[in-house]
Amino acid sequence: MATSTSVKINLPTLEQYREIFSSDLRFKENAPIKEMLDRWRAIYSRFLTARYYSYSKGSGDWQPLAASTLEYKIRKGLLLEILRATDQLFETFAAAFEKPQYAEFGILVSFGGGTSMQHPGESITSAEVGMFHQKGGGRLPKREIIVPPNRETLIAMRDDLKQTLLDMYHANT
């Protein structure tokens, strides 16, 4: 079972194209808007992947691993980076992009991606572990994995939107 969190991608220009988008998503196979959303999914996925790898190595605002956690990882021969023991958590997060589900003008991002993998040594799924870290709580620090896109990602998505609309205009004139 996938566990999702929502991320709002705020591109104000979308509102004025609501009817075009809705029509395109409802009635056409391989429509330009659907293809654009596939490209957005890839753009956003690259952003999250790069951020995850960077933050797992200690950059960003993720709290460092506790000394006891580092000792445990060394003893077990696990990766020493934050949220990267076996990479199973990241694999369940990444799997969500293989079969995307689209919210209106956006992308639903989730942990799990339909996988049923169990977290090593636990009776909870890796997707649930992802959400525990996403939200934090108790002694578990909050380490958000799914976050809104950064400025560069939004610019890439906006530029893709402009090109898609221009292509649609030329195809219909």
Partnered with residue 101 across adjacent β-strands are 108
Give pLDDT, residue 96.
55
% of the chain beyond a pLDDT of 90: 21
* 115/127 Cα distance (integer angstroms): 8
| Domain limits for position 92 | 3-8+15-171
pLDDT digits (tens, 9 = 90+) for 153-169: 989 988 998 898 888 87
What's the mean pLDDT when you consider all of the chain? 76
Structural domain total, the chain: 1
Give pLDDT, residue 75.
94
What mean pLDDT is predicted for residues 58-74? Answer: 92
Give pLDDT, residue 1.
43
- Res. 64: pLDDT tops 80: yes
Beta-carbon count within 10 A of 151 CB: 7
What mean pLDDT is predicted for residues 104-133? Answer: 65
How many residues can be counted in the chain? 173
